[in-house]
């Protein structure tokens, strides 16, 4: 185990999740896992060291930790000596308020952290949002097309050959959901967007507690 992986493990013991560490470093959670699995992370050791010292000193606010880490994060260099590009997936909300973010299986496993900035920005702008989830058919409580669950099978349910279904909740036509309310749910879930959406679906009687979300899409717009 390399130094980056060792510090990460200690930070996890101190209460931070991999998703937390990724957000503090400004990187995708999958990279944090690669500290241990692919021997990556040497460039982040100075920043991780500062984060560990700050946490030991009683600092727990993620934004404050990110500010402490930022001056110590340097990009790796390519073989030619130039700074390597950091691959990120931009979250964009247009001036009209429309925005879309998606999370597949790998991102879902780490809490769909890449969707949190989209929801937070939508909340800041006072936007509405809707979402689509993909769950095994047996995970849903209501049958496909039930108006209790969704408006109708042709518009909001996609049935797939692997016995899963994609169902959409909220739309510009129905008014959707208050982005600020969902942002609060995400914050209450420690930044885990997947957990927040799952909790909402369970609370509103749409899925069983054991249901597992395997795809998630968030859409935003400005109410007229």
Q: Tokens for 87?
A: 């691959």
Name the pTM for this structure. 0.58
Other CB atoms within a 10 A radius of the CB of residue 106 amount to 11
| Rounded Cα distance, 74 and 93, in Å | 28
3-state class (DSSP) for residue 5: helix
| Rounded Cα distance, 155 and 149, in Å | 12
191: left (phi over 0), alpha (psi -120 to 50) or beta: left
Question: For 115-142, b where at least 16 C-beta lie within 10 A, e where not — what string?
Answer: bbebbbbbbeeebbbbbbbbbbeebbee
What pLDDT tens digit does each residue of the chain (224 aa) get? Answer: 899 999 999 999 999 999 889 888 888 888 898 999 989 899 899 999 999 998 998 888 887 888 888 888 875 555 665 655 554 444 567 877 888 888 877 778 777 887 888 899 999 999 999 999 999 999 999 887 777 776 544 455 677 778 898 888 888 778 889 999 999 999 999 889 999 999 999 999 999 999 999 999 999 999 87
Backbone angles phi, psi at 117, to 5 degrees: -60, -35
Report pLDDT for 83. Answer: 55
Angle at 55 between CA 51 and CA 60, to 5 degrees: 105
Identify the CA nearest to 84 among candidates 76, 95, 92.
Answer: 76
Report pLDDT for 199. Answer: 96
End-to-end alpha carbon distance in the chain: 54
C-alpha 80: how far from its chain's center? 34
The answer to whether 130 and 168 are in contact (CB under 8 A) is yes
Report pLDDT for 150. Answer: 65
Report pLDDT for 77. Answer: 54
Report pLDDT for 156. Answer: 59
């Amino acid at each position: 185990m390399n130094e980056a992986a060792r510090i990460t493990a200690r930070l996890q013991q101190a209460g931070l999740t991999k998703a937390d560490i990724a957000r503090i470093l400004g990187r995708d959670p999958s990279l944090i896992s690669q500290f241990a699995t692919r021997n990556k992370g040497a460039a982040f050791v100075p920043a991780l060291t500062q984060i560990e010292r700050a946490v030991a000193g009683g600092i727990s606010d993620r934004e404050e930790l990110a500010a402490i880490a930022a001056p110590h994060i340097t990009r790796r260099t390519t073989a030619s000596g130039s700074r390597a590009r950091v691959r990120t997936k931009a979250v964009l909300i247009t001036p009209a308020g429309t925005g879309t973010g998606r999370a597949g299986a790998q991102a879902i496993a780490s809490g769909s952290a890449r969707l949190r900035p989209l929801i937070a920005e939508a909340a800041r702008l006072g936007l509405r949002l809707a979402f689509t989830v993909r769950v095994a058919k047996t995970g849903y409580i209501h049958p496909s097309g039930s108006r209790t669950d969704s408006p109708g099978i042709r518009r909001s349910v996609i049935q797939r050959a692997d016995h899963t279904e994609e169902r959409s909740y909220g739309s510009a036509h129905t008014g959707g959901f208050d982005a600020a309310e969902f942002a609060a749910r995400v914050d209450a879930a420690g930044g885990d967007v997947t957990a927040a959406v799952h909790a909402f679906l369970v609370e509103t009687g749409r899925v069983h507690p054991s249901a597992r979300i395997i795809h998630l899409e968030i859409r935003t717009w400005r109410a007229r």
